[in-house]
Amino acid sequence: MLLLVLIIALGCNNAASAQNEYEDDVDLEDDLISELDLNVAPHRVPRQVRNKITKPHIHELSITTTIISRYAFTAVSCTMLNKHSAASQAVFMFHIPAAAYISNFTMIVGGRVFPSQIKAKEQKLKKDRKGNNGTPKDKDSAENSEGEMELFRMSVKIPGRNRAIFLLTYEELLQRRLGYYQHVTSVRPMQMVSKLSVTVTIVEHSRIKHLKVLPLRKIKTSGSRNNSRADGIDNMPPSTVIRQNETFCKITFTPNIFQQVRISNNGMLGDFIVRYDVERELGIGDIQVLDGHFVHYFAPKDLPVVPKNVVFVIDTSASMLGTKMKQTKEALFTILGDLRPNDHFNFVSFSNRVRVWQPGKLVPVTPYNVRDAKKFIYMISPNGGTDINSALQAGSLLLRDYLLQKEEMNHNSVSLIIFLTDGRPTVGVVQTPVILGNAKSAVQEKFCIFTIGMGNDVDYKLLDRMALENCGTMRRIPEDADASTMLKGFYAEIGTPLLSDIRVEYSEDSVEYVTQNLFPNYFNGSEIVVAGKLTNRSSDSLHVQVTATNSDRSLVIEKDISLTEQERETKRRVEEAEAGPNADGYVERLWGFLSVKDGLNGRVRSQTSSERENFTQRATELSLSYNFLTPLTQMEVETPQVLTNGTIAGAETTETPAHSNLANRLTEEEPTGDTPQSLHRNKEQPATEARAGKTTHGLKRPGKKSVTLSKTSADGDPHFVVDFPLSKLTVCFNINGEPGDVLRLVTDHKHSGVTVNGKLIGAPAPPGSHKQQRTYFSSILIVVDKPRRSYIEVTPRKVIVDSLDRLILPCSSSVSVDNKYVAVAVVANANITITIQGTIQFIILMHIYKNPAPYQRDHLGFYIADSKGLSKDTHGLLGQFIYEEVTLTQRLGNITAATENGTQEQTMTQGNPGPGHMALQVKERIVDVVKKSRNIYSGTHTVHCWFAKNNAAKLIDGQYKDYVVSHMFDTEDWPHGTNVH
């Protein structure tokens, strides 16, 4: 019963809960006391403080990284103390870079060693492994930019007055981007740590240059948009020390408790980032040889730039509206400015519909074209669904046609599609395999597709595969990240192609198992890395040849390398660096690391199941032999069994892994569907959420339910009816709006997170009417911001539910969907009931004309059926009255006499109120009213109400224009306070 399977989850899943869990520990005072506590008898701790310390305390955390020629080994050692007599649960958490593989994890608890074991993942068990602790994902703590991190988490019971040491190691190959290597260490112990140290040692064969330690990077929260990435101020984190000579560098970061507090009072210090590059000679590149393996780094520079043909395919569906679109536009403006004179380009925007900026061609970069393209981008206004297939087809066609026309000219260029989306396919072809197949046949291996996903609702498996199958790469931009900067950064990485069709070859009889050696493109600032095994170790010479195409010529570089000489040189460097035992086999481990990545990529790309099986098997074997925790392997850890008397029982090992203390949580979760293998550890949503998403989409027919009707509504052209349940009064009014205006009906963004906006269309008045025109609601948008942003957009024809993913429901059939945030039930061509968080319910009536008269328009009516969940601060044309009390008064000349609320009925039956007239007192305002009756609910009900004339002047806070918002997704709360008139 003692085997536990580790949970690897995306970092942000747990950050928030962890923070709470550790809240007790963040006091500096606690920490100092626990410091003392190490040497002094526990009874010296003041009682009240001692009670506060409930969790084991991190006494020491040391993170040591050794980077040998871009291959980074990191060892984390964390010592936790349990000072109590009772056993206590300790949670060890550490963020590791997403690209790294864990290579060892060992615990020492109460003096006993508990090793872990990497095992092949059994297919059957795979699904259970995906469990995570089910904590709802906290979007605000999304990691930003390149520092994509994942959380390693282990929880264990420490016996009373004892300690646990957690030892974790991981490895990664640093990728060169934009001209530098970057190593990121997450320093987030979530509490003050008595002894905290981060050490980064860099050993390179060539001279290290541009070494830089950046300011600590914090996780970006939506509250603080400006993060510390501003490179302007180059403040190294306090206590940072750099010791370096030409090829060696040692950086230490050892903040004491006071320095830690000053950085962050909750132990979330941030990412410690080291950047550097190395000097390189022109030519074949750098080859290192060690113990029968070699690695070859190739990063030529100072080559003429290859012109590129680029088509930007940009998602402009409704969900892009707001910040995402704004940031995308901003980035595109910059990117347009960065295009080079010899480049050719075009834009495709897509939602339901695909729009091509310059149909049928790619245009050269001229000031006029750039200006015109900016105009096109500027005018983009998001709405509708996501037709990924058609968009890619349109983009591919542009490039293919262009390349055909250009074939005569013998001029090399690099062609690419940059595809950006924030959603899943919802319109047109929506099946992933079909979209991928179509893309592949449209591309015909003539160009590459680079994909960018924005936010949480993206099918990353689709984008990843799309890029892998078409020689591109995929990049994700987390929700709430600075999308503009990330987009510009991504473009900068691929904006300067220097070579294409690169082939790296070695004398055939001396190498085997060479990693990827064909590359479609080489971009300035990046690096090509190839590794392999040496077979014929009796031969000393290795012939290396690189062929590639530059803008107008082929490039061949050849060289014979002496293996013994290289190996001697490599060994000398390693010894010189005193890099420790890790380093001994770094070339081989680097080869293993790259080979696993190759295998995983091959697996995604594979066309047949036997091919896939081949790749899987090979990558699994490699993972096992290098003890890498990869998507194909799992880690099993023995956990100590702490007896009730606080001691540790002899550890048992059982064959079938039991989930020990996780069992309860895991059994609550059914297996989730198959998540993408390649992204297995990048899961964006906790399993529970994903599952909720799934079951929701088992669409079911709603039972016929009688709807309890609420009078509070905006229906017809539009007529407003407001019920004041507290005052037992019903009031009605009209609003003569302008066609095209969007009116705020309900705003409670701050509290319940709910906003309702309605858009007006105009229609000619019917014959004989005194009005010029009438207005109706043509669409209603409900934004639900909590606990997760969802949109429900209703038109007379369809309902778009954009929550966990996007659904389009036709109004012509009855259907209901329900996830745990919102429930939407459509009764065909009649009404739609939207229930939010169980306590807010809106009903929208569809008024659809089969044979409309010239003055008739399909339109919507909006009813508030349940407002319990809306806060007292709710505003909007309807929302402001929900908690309002009004009194009916009779005005007799100058004298105003209030009547009892209870006399309302009597007053009504009086009909004409006689010489005086009736008025309502609303807040400080007196509003004249007359008695009327109104038909609501498509004429099936009649209500008697007090009618306020003049577009409800004085009845409503402010004036008409105060209720007009800039767009359907506007969620601003009432800006004027509540006592304005």
Ligand X SMILES: *[C@@H]1O[C@H](CO)[C@@H](O)[C@H](O)[C@H]1NC(C)=O
For binding to ligand X (CB under 6 A), which residues are involved? 104, 106, 167, 245-248, 576, 610-611, 614, 627
Residues 6+ apart with CB under 8 A from 277: 176, 179, 180, 181, 208, 209, 210
| Complex with ligand X: residue 209 or 872, whichever CB lies closer | 209
Indicate the burial class of 234 (C-beta count within 10 angstroms; 0-12, 13-18, 19 or more): exposed
| Complex with ligand X: residue 74 or 627, whichever CB lies closer | 627
DSSP state, 552?
S
User: Nearest distance from residue 701's CB to ligand X, in Å?
Assistant: 46
With tokens 């591109």, the residue in question is: 472
Q: In what order do the strands lie in the sheet with 518-523?
A: 518-523, 497-506, 541-549, 554-562
User: Nearest distance from residue 190's CB to ligand X, in Å?
Assistant: 24
DSSP state, 870?
S
| Complex with ligand X: residue 651 or 761, whichever CB lies closer | 651
CA dist 448 → 199, 511, 527 (Å): 40, 30, 18
Other Cβ atoms within 10 Å of 769 Cβ, number? 12
Other Cβ atoms within 10 Å of 627 Cβ, number? 20
Task: Tell me the C-alpha distance between 523 and 500, whole Å.
Answer: 9
User: Nearest distance from residue 440's CB to ligand X, in Å?
Assistant: 18
User: Nearest distance from residue 576's CB to ligand X, in Å?
Assistant: 4
For 409, half-sphere exposure in the C-beta direction (CA atoms, 13 angstrom radius) is 10
| Complex with ligand X: residue 245 or 410, whichever CB lies closer | 245
Contact 701, 816 (CB under 8 A): yes
| Complex with ligand X: residue 405 or 625, whichever CB lies closer | 625
DSSP SS3 for 534 = strand
Task: Tell me the C-alpha distance between 329 and 349, whole Å.
Answer: 12
SS (H, E, C) 322-383: CHHHHHHHHHHHHHHHHCCCCCEEEEEEECCCEEECCCCCCEECCHHHHHHHHHHHHHCCCC
Contact 257, 192 (CB under 8 A): yes
Task: Tell me the C-alpha distance between 734 and 771, whole Å.
Answer: 13
| Complex with ligand X: residue 104 or 266, whichever CB lies closer | 104
Which residue type is seen at 653? Answer: T
User: Nearest distance from residue 627's CB to ligand X, in Å?
Assistant: 5
Indicate the burial class of 603 (C-beta count within 10 angstroms; 0-12, 13-18, 19 or more): buried
Task: Tell me the C-alpha distance between 436 and 449, whole Å.
Answer: 11
Query: How many residues can be counted in the chain?
Result: 981
652-658, long-range: CB < 8 A, 24+ apart: 652/1, 652/2, 653/2, 653/3, 654/1, 654/2, 654/3, 657/3, 657/4, 657/5, 657/125, 658/1, 658/2, 658/3, 658/4
User: Nearest distance from residue 611's CB to ligand X, in Å?
Assistant: 4
User: Nearest distance from residue 610's CB to ligand X, in Å?
Assistant: 4
User: Nearest distance from residue 158's CB to ligand X, in Å?
Assistant: 18
DSSP state, 658?
P
Contact 790, 806 (CB under 8 A): no
N-term to C-term CA, the chain: 70
Contact 78, 108 (CB under 8 A): no
User: Nearest distance from residue 75's CB to ligand X, in Å?
Assistant: 8
| Complex with ligand X: residue 575 or 972, whichever CB lies closer | 575
User: Nearest distance from residue 623's CB to ligand X, in Å?
Assistant: 12
| Complex with ligand X: residue 246 or 512, whichever CB lies closer | 246
User: Nearest distance from residue 572's CB to ligand X, in Å?
Assistant: 10
| Complex with ligand X: residue 121 or 130, whichever CB lies closer | 121
Rg of the chain (C-alpha set): 33
Which residue type is seen at 858? Answer: D
DSSP state, 106?
E
DSSP SS3 for 211 = strand
User: Nearest distance from residue 412's CB to ligand X, in Å?
Assistant: 32
User: Nearest distance from residue 642's CB to ligand X, in Å?
Assistant: 21
User: Nearest distance from residue 91's CB to ligand X, in Å?
Assistant: 20
User: Nearest distance from residue 663's CB to ligand X, in Å?
Assistant: 27
Task: Tell me the C-alpha distance between 370 and 304, whole Å.
Answer: 23
SS3 content of the chain, % helix, strand, coil (to 5): 25, 35, 40
User: Nearest distance from residue 513's CB to ligand X, in Å?
Assistant: 11
User: Nearest distance from residue 314's CB to ligand X, in Å?
Assistant: 37
Indicate the burial class of 39 (C-beta count within 10 angstroms; 0-12, 13-18, 19 or more): exposed
| Complex with ligand X: residue 68 or 929, whichever CB lies closer | 68
| Complex with ligand X: residue 248 or 333, whichever CB lies closer | 248
Is the torsion defined by CA of 945, 951, 952, 957 positive or negative? positive
| Complex with ligand X: residue 427 or 514, whichever CB lies closer | 514
User: Nearest distance from residue 516's CB to ligand X, in Å?
Assistant: 16
| Complex with ligand X: residue 578 or 905, whichever CB lies closer | 578
| Complex with ligand X: residue 617 or 871, whichever CB lies closer | 617
| Complex with ligand X: residue 133 or 627, whichever CB lies closer | 627
